[in-house]
Amino acid sequence: MAVRDEVLALIERLSPSPICDDCVAEKLNLPTRQQASYRTRLLAGSKGIERRRDICSICYGEKLVSRQV
Ligand SMILES: [Zn+2]
């Protein structure tokens, strides 16, 4: 599965709970947070995915999170 699809599947699975880029990277074993952030940025705005500053449902940190609404 392509990384893009894995990120999308993860966000969809958690929906409507938000997840931050750090947790996306950790869950998908991506080498860097930048990769996660790049992917979530590309997905934002499509398939009901939005990015905003909020509390991550996994690590409870206030960060830029992605979620599907
Ligand atoms: Zn998190």
Render pLDDT for 22-39 as a digit per residue (tens, 0 to 9). Answer: 999 999 999 999 999 999
69 CB-near residues (< 8 Å, 6+ apart):
15, 16, 48, 49, 50
Q: Which CATH architecture does the domain made up of 3-68 adopt?
A: Orthogonal Bundle (1.10)
* C-alpha of residue 59 to centroid of ligand 1, in Å: 4
* C-alpha of residue 1 to centroid of ligand 1, in Å: 23
pLDDT in the model for residue 1: 83
Q: Which residues of the chain have pLDDT under 50?
A: none
* C-alpha of residue 44 to centroid of ligand 1, in Å: 17
Could you tell me the two tokens for 33?
């947070």
pLDDT in the model for residue 11: 98
